[in-house]
Amino acid sequence: MKRSPSLYRLTLASLSVSLAAGTATAHAQSNVTLYGSIDASINYVSNQGGEHSFQAQNGMINGSRWGIKGTEDLGGGRSAIFQLENGFNIFNGKLGQGSREFGRQAWVGLKDNSLGSLTVGRQYDPTIWYLAVHTGGFTGGTAFAHPFDNDNMGNSFRIDNSVMYSSASWNGLSMRSMYAFSNQAGDGANNRAYSAGIGYDHGPVSLGAAFIVINNVGANAGGAIDGSSASGDSTFVAAKQSVFGAGGSYKWGNGVYGATWTHTMISDGSSVNLYGYKSMGNADLRMDNFDINVTYNTTANITLIGSYAFTMGHYDNATTSASPKWHQVNLQAAYYFSKRTDVYVDAVYQHVIGGTGTPFANAILCGYAQSSTPTQIVVGLGMRHRF
């Protein structure tokens, strides 16, 4: 039967509407976001190996990055989720995190609105989610990290080969647990990691507690923590690294006031990354970090951040026993031209005592070569842009 022109036009119109509706539905069910930030500064460092320096620095506060994250609605309150995040140096264009393409984060998973999410890949462990968020370094940035980032609150490393469960929030209460595989045949404990944490967020109050344990940290480059010298991903190479602690913050008026305590334990440490690996002489190391901090918005455009960290350590090997102590004061002022762009001034001071005969006799702020004296000061002027 010959189709009439009017019927033919009606059929095409119906098909066009149907396809358009299907496309709109598909777009409504999926969401992919491109995001990133750029942080560049000019810094003065009082002492690096005996000399002061003026230098251009990438990421004094927040490491420059770009990323892609997305969700796909699978129906019934379930969705597929993923995030890929790349770190780079704005001054030379090179990849960060040991030249990884997505060294900051790379994971995929499933989420249920009632049950929580299960994700696999290279991820932040629960101590970052529940402890680091209450430290001065969370808003103050990399330079505010505790001495040589011994507790990883400054995100010196992520966890490879990891599987993490993140619960939904129950009246402000949530938890996360993680296990990371060593990927080594015959010895599944060689450079594996496990971590868990719990948090509470309700109104102005936020609280958290968490731990992480890494066996033979850095021993197997394909394990939970890549300890190869090329990656610099591991703060320590040791038989065992454990970090646990608790913290909290309170919002009051224009300010957020935070405090944390973390305890780092290193067993049979062979080396430590002090802007390059240095021998620890198979030592045991204990460090307690006490951090108090405040973030205060004086106006809609100006944010002031200050923190003080006191660290008590004990170092013990076959020939040396010492109890180094660190004092660190961090100050920052930022002026926001918009929500996406600001300029800032950063000033960080560190002084160490009691570390004679250990790798920690001299000051070392996170991200800088070690001083030749017990004191180090960094002052920076920078700009950040987010997209």
Question: How does pLDDT run across 119-145, given as a tens digit for each residue?
Answer: 999 999 999 999 999 999 998 998 899
Report how far apart, in Å, the C-alpha atoms of 291 and of each of 49, 79, 138, 232, 329 are.
27, 38, 11, 25, 10
d(CA 370, CA 273): 11
- At residue 375, does pLDDT exceed 80? yes
Residues 372-378 have a mean pLDDT of: 98
pLDDT at 5: 42
Residues 54-70 have a mean pLDDT of: 96
Report how far apart, in Å, the C-alpha atoms of 313 and of each of 265, 270, 279, 282, 348 are.
10, 17, 17, 16, 20
d(CA 272, CA 293): 27
Task: Locate 293 and state its tokens.
Answer: 């901090």
Residues in the chain: 387
pLDDT at 7: 37
Residue 10's DSSP bridge partners are: none
Asked if 265 and 283 count as a contact pair (C-beta separation under 8 A), the reply is: no
Residue-wise pLDDT tens digits, 148-164: 999 999 999 999 999 99
Count Cβ atoms below 10 Å from residue 292 Cβ, excluding itself. Answer: 15
- At residue 350, does pLDDT exceed 90? yes
Q: Does residue 97 form part of some domain?
A: yes
**11 conformational bin, left if phi > 0, alpha if psi -120 to 50, beta if neither:** alpha
pLDDT at 18: 40
Q: Does residue 86 form part of some domain?
A: yes
pTM score, whole prediction: 0.89
Q: Does residue 30 form part of some domain?
A: no
Q: Which of 346, 348, 344 is nearest to 385 (CA)?
A: 344
Q: Does residue 264 form part of some domain?
A: yes
- Structural domain tally of the chain? 1
44-48, 138-142, 371-375, range with the lowest pLDDT: 138-142
d(CA 65, CA 39): 9
- At residue 68, does pLDDT exceed 70? yes
Residue 224's domain spans which residues?
38-386
pLDDT at 232: 67
Q: Does residue 16 form part of some domain?
A: no
Q: How confident is the model at residue 229 (pLDDT cuts 50, 70, 90)?
A: low
- At residue 204, does pLDDT exceed 60? yes
Give percent above pLDDT 90 in the chain: 84
Question: In the predicted model, what is the mean pLDDT of the chain?
Answer: 91
Q: How confident is the model at residue 20 (pLDDT cuts 50, 70, 90)?
A: very low
207-216, 228-237, 243-252, 284-293, range with the lowest pLDDT: 228-237
Q: Does residue 8 form part of some domain?
A: no
Alpha helices for the chain (secondary structure H): 5-29, 126-130, 136-140
Report how far apart, in Å, the C-alpha atoms of 271 and of each of 202, 315, 345 are.
42, 13, 34
pLDDT at 14: 41
CATH classification of the domain holding 372: 2.40.160.10
- At residue 269, does pLDDT exceed 50? yes
Residues 200-228 have a mean pLDDT of: 92
Residue with tokens 């004086």: 298
Residue with tokens 């995100």: 155
Sign of CA dihedral 229, 266, 368, 85: positive
Q: Does residue 164 form part of some domain?
A: yes
Max Cα distance, the chain (Å):
100
What one-character DSSP code corresponds to residue 133? Answer: G
